[in-house]
Amino acid sequence: MCGRFTLTYRKAELVAAELGVPVESLGDYRPRYNIAPGQWHRIMRIEYEDRELLPARWGLVNHCVKDRNQGYKQINSRAETAHTRPAFRDAFKKRRCIVPADGFYEWAGPKGQRQPIWFHRPDGGLLLFAGLYESWQPVPGEWEPTFTIMTTDANATVAPVHNRMPVILPEGLADNWLYPREEDAGALRSLLVPAGPDVLIATPASMRVNSVKNDDPDVLVG
């Protein structure tokens, strides 16, 4: 499971350069240290053969649903079953995206004393989470994009803390996942594998991560 993540780059220009999108598409970008379900973020998709960023709320809500609370149950989608589950299969076929991040949290230790762990690249670089997106109407005529993060089995770095992790796509395979005309479910599923053991390192974070109100650099300091 992935229940919190980060995108701590200080400058929008750096994010845009790594994603290959215009900096203007990041709008009022600011660093985020504790992104939580139900909050807004930006996802990347292919539109007219170009990469495009789209504001979207975390927690996939299907287009026919009238209750936003469904999204809190669908912040993650399992790589093994997304192509067949009714909640995700249409998006898997037609609306794949990437969720830009530079880290995510998991919790270790006994109940009541759980220590948040921040998983991130050793060089502090960007992580490209595989995702799916859908739009629904909170009110008639108003469409709201929503997204889910794909998860897979944990790699050797994450496994001591949790048995699942986000699917992290290498830059060289990102467009394979985004390509809207790809209809081979097997080819797509072959991309949804655990990251290599050297992709991530684990750093203890502050207990302040436990509150979604805390979204500042100090939450990264254990």
Active site residues: 2, 106
The 3-state DSSP class for residue 6 equals strand
Per-residue HEC secondary structure of 131-162 comes to EEEEEEEEECCEEEEEEEEEEEECCCCCCCCC
Question: Rounded to 10 degrees, what is the CA torsion of 82, 85, 86, 87?
Answer: -50
In sign, the C-alpha dihedral spanning 61, 67, 71, 73 is negative
CA distances from 80 to 158, 188, 222 (A): 18, 11, 34
In sign, the C-alpha dihedral spanning 11, 17, 23, 26 is negative
The 3-state DSSP class for residue 201 equals strand
